[in-house]
Structure 1
């Protein structure tokens, strides 16, 4: 059993405690959302908020299992033709009825090249009929393989069978949007005064670089079981967030905690520091289309000399799992591929790395030099400093660190305006394809420019398989190719460390997807629970 599933052994549950009078939750989101339009963004800070504001066909329960959202049932005789029966009586936040045509409009908008949606690639992964021709401008969006067979029946046509479709349907890119609001307000439809959504919450207020405030949606289909009345997502840095947490102004922190603060919080707040598995990886990606990283020998050398266990010890991150591939052990039941060099001695790895760099033309007279871009955060800075020192000590590499604010970082990586950059990626569905597909040559997530027909072939073959036992060997072959080409240097599979106030209920430690919805949370009646609104 891998570390990923070991963490899940802690069974989450809560005694039935009396609820606090004030049900107002404050969460630090770390960064401002780039956009709240699900067709305009890729980032994690945006997704956290959008899952409160909008609801797709399927969602995750508090334990990370796929359960009905807007769709009550899904049926397919062949995994290629799918019918979804929607909830009767479901409404948008303005009182309009939700029907199948809303999803038809939303997915056509996602597919439309004019939208330039980063997550249109989802429709390619799902093999929705005609998506390739639509994205290429050869067919109109109206020909997408989705149609309404009535107000409450949605039909999907795929170009080939897909066994894990329901897992894909929880992705934020597939959330529905309100057509009339978009047609009236255009790009301004996500403003609080214009917002219309179908999730458990509505957008109340946004203050740039400060906060996003949501309030309960009285028209939400499950509003009677929603407890938290208001949730505030703050956009403040880690140090400020922990200081405010300690004064009671914040109830939950985000998932990145730096080394110095881990030491402090473990000592002072041991009972409130909780671990949650993350289905992802953290490391560095390289722009393989420009020097020096268009040379695979350079990428291989840098990868070989990094001792993951030593890095984790140095940063006091022993809760994390060292990563030598993109897929954490146990995700979706897969035992991941392990590269041959894991069995080598440290001396053999170092000698091989030095020989690779020398063959690529680098040495004492011509040291390897490059820039390393990372989003501003103390944890990211500490990791970059340590890795830079290791490369300098072992290979004489000169690395220039380039910290940038979140939105600037996103822009630079999406445009491949970098040499090496920090990469922290997790999947929203519990299949290894969610991580391996990052490097598929046509994927919008592929920011490295990596393009290997063999790797693409194994992934495409895996998508053809309906059963896990058929897909797993193909995933292993794809992982082996990726390990040889090294467009990404994975360092560890993160475990989310959150500070959680003891009065916050409903948060499951055994959720393998590290995703929670505010509608599943609540504040219990305890002495430290907030008694008045916080700003």
Structure 2
């Protein structure tokens, strides 16, 4: 997401989204807020309308092209895949009623429900999944996540995405209208979790092809088969989702409408919350102390990590000592305490804390590997001087792309000051809109980039396989045969040896961060929020999408 991962992604959306990773782990509601399905029936006469904000426009609603957390959030709200994230963040039946797995773990057979329809009345069938998945790995589509999520998982996905194999040979077929068979490259025990991710959503072939390049760019060029439909989309301003009355599980959906405004400034958002115009707001540091004692205040921990990507095609950043100097120059504790002030914690690596545990001992991944990069300005200066000597330079100027939200700009200014403690280094910050930043990442048009990752599924692989040579979301120029071999070994030879597989991931993270200094870890996100007490049964997910609204309702407003 890339949640994940999904690109899952931009520090520009630090307080509301993550790339695709999509983002964590416990229910959004406290025990007094949460409710059983039966309780939801008691929502009374309250108007079932939820009012919230995003800090960025939706780049696209085309599942094949989705590469950010904003898109993944609203795809998941409007579309059911085989499975979807339900209450308690567990996969629950979507279009699939059930599935079976062959003894060798390679063949998954999904039985689909026959009462699911698209918003134009067409039935949702196995053919919709075959078309969507083939389209996602077809090199002509230009999908980032199709090759990334399906490559090495679904049979022939990688060779298809590289143009070596016909798309029809992807390991997915419609046995009949309501039976989908999927053949995997290797046993993938977390594949059910993967099917909840946006890249695996179905598409109506006739509708998509009729709209061509306009598909998913307007409310009128989009079909839904999920709890809500995107009924209005005023680009850069707001959008509206309405209950899908033809949804197969419509009886469980209590909200009639979700209104989403695009608001980048926290002060403006807080004012909207105070005046009752929105029902939830994320707080920046200057507002946390003001509202900390409010009964509507809460902190949500997430398995979402943020870091700096370093473009190794740049002469200076190709030097490992220069990269290590940047890693050590930043005081992360002050950053989370002063700049964020929302419960976020310094990041010790790229795999977050409280995300995955050793299969034998139960010890947390982050506890085992510890803090791989400590802040140490004196050591940073030594490494920087060594790098300049090796490069034959005295003055270095590096571009830095960050987001255009208030929080992003504050963070980027802090990081600029920290890095410029290195003698002779000048950092030039560009604050970019979200889509522009995604485009710059895709083309590797940056020197340093602030970004982040939320898990696409519940496994260390979602954070570590990004950085293999020529990985679709790598975009750093990093290439290591040794690192590639570790990730390949974990995914193939050790796929059914959980202890050895886990320990291989531990080794890979050390190589990525400590030895090769590919990234500058920053922090693991937490959200400080205000939420109206009448908003019930919204879940926060550890992977994309950030929130599940299917069972949400308003009570007592």
Would you call these one fold, judging by a TM-score over 0.5? Answer: yes
**8 Å CA contact retained: 1:63, 1:512:** no
Match of 2:56 in 1: 31
**What is the CA-CA distance between 1:10 and the residue it aligns to?**
6.3
Q: Pick from 507, 522, 526 the counterpart of residue 491 of structure 1.
A: 522
Shift of 1:12: 6.9
Higher relative contact order (CA 8 A, sep 6+): 2
Identify which of 33, 44, 54 aligns with 2:69.
Answer: 44
Which residue of structure 2 aligns with residue 404 of structure 1? Answer: 432
Counterpart residue number, 2:116: 90
Does structure 2 conserve the Cα–Cα contact (< 8 Å) formed by 1:58 and 1:70? yes
User: Does the 8 Å CA contact 1:12/1:508 hold for their aligned counterparts?
Assistant: no
Shift of 1:126: 5.1
Whole-Å Cα distance in 2 between the matches of residues 39 and 238 of structure 1?
A: 31
Aligned to 2:243: 216
Matches within 5 A, 1:134-283: 134-190=160-216, 191-239=218-266, 240-253=268-281, 257-266=283-292, 270-283=294-307
Partners of 2:354 and 2:138 lie apart in 1 by 36
1:87-486 equivalence runs, <5 A: 87-125=113-151, 127-190=153-216, 191-239=218-266, 240-253=268-281, 257-266=283-292, 270-317=294-341, 319-333=343-357, 334-336=364-366, 338=369, 349-361=376-388, 366-393=394-421, 395=423, 397-464=425-492, 465-483=495-513, 484-486=515-517
**Cα distance per residue 1:198-247 (max 9 Å; x no partner):** 11111211101111111111221110110001112222213322221111
Cα drift, residue 350 of structure 1: 3.3
Relative to structure 1, the CA distance from residue 207 to residue 10 in structure 2 (aligned partners, 3 Å threshold; closer, same or farther) is closer
Q: Which whole-Å CA distance do the structure 1 matches of 2:464 and 2:45 have between them?
A: 43
Q: Distance in 2 between matches of 1:381 and 1:233?
A: 23
Find the residue that maps to 2:487 and give its secondary structure.
helix
Is 1:72 the counterpart of 2:114 in the alignment? Answer: no
Indicate the SS of the match to 1:418.
coil
Give the secondary structure class of the aligned counterpart of 1:121. Answer: helix
* CA–CA separation in structure 2 for the residues paired with 1:368 and 1:12: 55
In structure 1, the residue matched to 2:20 is: none
CA RMSD of aligned residues (A): 2.5
Residue range with higher mean Cα deviation, 153-162 or 184-193:
184-193
Q: 1:78 to 1:21 in 2, by over 3 A?
A: same
Contact residue 117 and residue 246 of structure 2 kept, 8 A: yes
> What is the CA distance between 1:354 and its match in structure 2?
2.0
1:280 and 1:435 in contact (8 A); partners too:
no
Structure 2 stretches of 5 or more lacking a match?
Answer: 1-23, 358-363
Aligned partner of residue 168 in structure 2, secondary structure: helix
Q: Judging changes above 3 Å, is the alpha-carbon distance between structure 1 residues 523 and 350 closer, same or farther for their aligned structure 2 residues?
A: same
CA distance in 2, matches of 1:20, 1:516: 24
| Contact 1:123/1:131 (8 A) holds in 2 | no
Select between 411-420 and 392-401 the one with higher mean Cα deviation: 392-401
Distance 2:26 2:61 in 1: 35
Alpha-carbon deviations, 1:241-275, whole Å to 9, x = none? 2221111111123x5x42223334436xx222322
1:388 CA drift (Å): 1.8
Secondary structure, aligned partner of 1:128: coil
Distance 1:368 1:167 in 2: 45
Distance 1:235 1:323, change over 3 A: same
CA distance in 1, matches of 2:212, 2:149: 23
1:171-210: CA deviation from partner (whole Å, max 9, x where unpaired): 1111111111112221223332343221111121110111
Match of 1:22 among 25, 36, 47: 47
Q: Which moved more, 1:14-23 or 1:474-483?
A: 14-23
Report SS of the residue matched to 1:494: strand
Q: Is the 8 A contact 1:178 1:197 kept in 2?
A: no
How far off its partner does 1:467 sit?
Answer: 4.9
Uncovered stretches (5+) of structure 1, i.e. residues with no partner = 530-535
1:56 corresponds to which of 81, 85, 90: 81
Q: 1:141 to 1:478 in 2, by over 3 A?
A: same
Give 1:517 shift: 2.1
Q: Go from structure 1 to structure 2 and tell me whether the alpha carbon gap of 1:340 and 1:58 turns closer, same or farther (over 3 Å shift).
A: closer
CA shift in 2, pair 1:201/1:508, >3 Å: closer
Give distance in 1, aligned partners of 2:144 and 2:405: 25
Q: Secondary structure of the equivalent of 1:393?
A: coil
Alpha-carbon spacing, 1:482–1:245, altered in 2? closer, same or farther (3 Å)? same
Q: Secondary structure at the match of 1:473?
A: helix
Offset of residue 66 of structure 1: 1.8
How far residue 35 of structure 1 moved from its aligned partner, in angstroms, is 0.6
Cα 1:312/1:395, change in 2 over 3 Å: farther
